Amino acid sequence: MSFFTEQGLLNPNFTAPKPVAKVSEKDRPKILRLQSDGDLYKTTKEDGFAFLSHVAPGGPELYTKSVNRKTDHFPQIISELQDLDIPAGSVFMNELVHEVTKGKPQERGRVGKLVGLKSPEEAVKRQKLDDMGPASMIVLMPLAWGGKDVSCLSNRDRFELLLEHFDKRGRGLKYIRPIEILEASLEDAEELIRGQNKEGLVVYGAHGCATEKKPYVRLDGSPRPYRPKDWWKVKDVLEDDFIVYGIRTNELDDLYDLLLAQVDPVTGDWIHCGKVGTGFTNEQKAQVWNLSRGDVVQVGFEYWTKTNKLNQTRFMDFRTRDDKTAEECLYHRNGIRQPLKDLPFVSSRFS
């Protein structure tokens, strides 16, 4: 099957690959060997929205990863894709982001809302009104070039193809930029992303490529992407204790998420930290309804966002009052904070 329809449009059954979600104990030595041999590419994982771009015969197109067309939502990106002069029949994996401007942090949720709008006109209007400015796009990796499947090329060759083209054609662009290859060691790169509150790293083996038996792209309509064995997400999993101050439920009154807080050590205020809605066993879900306001839970997360909210949370365990009290869950973040008295919602399940 082809990446494209007979009309030259992107195959609606196209499913792009994704990196292995977690580095296992067996993977880590392999990654370090690749690094020592000079065969490891390290890149930053931005907190963005996965997107596909396709240069069709009639011009560039933008799609979500499930191949929903969003071309008209982001005219500033389409204009710069035209300026790049990429040959027709090219397909790229991208990350749609809101760049940090005017002191505002990058937020995936804001981009997601733009993507979710049915009206392209409304998406364009909101970007003009938004004080963060229009969305931007980071080009990650070509999967097709000039109508040819290039996933069979090595990661090194595809990076070189991408970066050489941007070097020739991509100067002066405002809303599109290529992926940045980090020159630091893996250890230094991991330390760098911790300091910048990034989502993590994505690392690639230089010689990794698709084969006939192990393709990168699915064309069978399955939403489950292939995950090449030479392409990994590298993330830290942090954990801490948080006060439960509310429960949110869905329309069936089933658990949706727990609302989390910590205590300001100076004022004693409870500060909103985010929520957790995944990681519960069935037994733990049943125990949730025995919680009282002020009980403590242990939550794993990847990082704090620049607005001081937890990112990618996962429930870990309940803490008993004898083990941990609410007063011991101290909030030590600087910058933006949201005391609970300023929040519009507190679950009615707690008195």
- The overall average pLDDT reported for the chain is 86
Instruction: Compute the distance between CA of residue 350 and CA of residue 96 in angstroms, rounded to an integer.
Output: 39
Q: Going along the chain, which residue ranges are E strands?
A: 40-45, 49-56, 59-64, 90-97, 136-145, 148-149, 176-178, 181-182, 200-205, 231-234, 238-249, 255-263, 270-276, 296-301, 303-304, 310-311, 314-319
**pLDDT means over runs of 10, the chain (351 residues):** 90 93 82 95 87 95 94 97 95 86 53 87 88 86 96 96 94 93 91 72 95 93 88 81 88 82 91 90 85 89 84 84 78 79 50 42
The domain locations on the chain are: 27-211+228-234, 238-342
**Considering only the top CATH level, what class is 238-342?**
mainly beta
The pTM assigned to this predicted structure is: 0.70
Q: What single string gives the DSSP state of each residue in 9-26? A: PBPTT-B----BSS--TT
pLDDT of residue 342: 56
- Fold annotation for 27-211+228-234: D-amino Acid Aminotransferase; Chain A, domain 1 (3.30.470)
